[in-house]
Amino acid sequence: AVVSTQSTGTQTLDKQTATNLFKLLKKYKPETAAEKKDRLKSMADSGKTEAGKKPTVVKFGLNHVTALVEKKKAQLVVIAHDVDPIELVVWMPALCRKMNIPYCIVKGKARLGQVVHKKTAAVLAITSVKAEDKNALNNLVSSVTTNYNDRFDEIRKTWGGGK
């Protein structure tokens, strides 16, 4: 996986890796409001009060993801490149690196928002995946780690255009 450099200078995932990432994220979409309503209605009709085990879903929201990273619960953090103001997420790669959690930057907060049924999302986190998706996650994590976590110093030195 090669990291493409945009005209703005942000390092984003290349198309192939991004496609694989979004395929994986799509499998763990949280339920929509309508789906939740149907689920609760069917539970009420059947008389169940216990929901069973929690579903495995993508976590979103800056504060939530930050907490997951600090607790080392996140397995992969996805950051949008076009967050405005950028100061909201500019520290996230440093935190992820400090906690040894793989992170990547993708084009478009609207694409991240689509995954979680919102207009936009600044960051997403994958906390766990089903056994059949472990391999896909591991492939993503390894490519992301080499392109982001391990290249941090190299990327940082190119900021501001100075050598």
Q: What percent of the chain has pLDDT over 70?
A: 88
pLDDT band with cut points at 50, 70 and 90 for residue 54 = confident
Which structure tokens are listed for 70? 């600090």
Per-residue pLDDT, averaged over 47-57, amounts to 80
Question: Does the global pTM surpass 0.95?
Answer: no
| pLDDT, the chain, mean | 86
pLDDT greater than 90 at residue 3: no
Kindly report the CA angle at 25 between 14 and 60, in degrees rounded to 5? 105
pLDDT of residue 11: 78
Is residue 57 exposed (0-12), middle (13-18) or buried (19+ Cβ within 10 Å)?
middle
More confident of the two residues 105 and 157: 105
**At which residue do the structure tokens 């500019």 appear?**
90
Question: How do residues 72-97 score in pLDDT, each as one tens digit?
Answer: 999 999 999 999 889 999 999 999 99
pLDDT of residue 4: 44
Distance, CA of 103 to CA of 79 (rounded, Å): 7
pLDDT of residue 68: 96
pLDDT of residue 12: 84
pLDDT of residue 122: 94
Is residue 60 exposed (0-12), middle (13-18) or buried (19+ Cβ within 10 Å)?
buried
pLDDT greater than 80 at residue 9: no
pLDDT of residue 127: 93
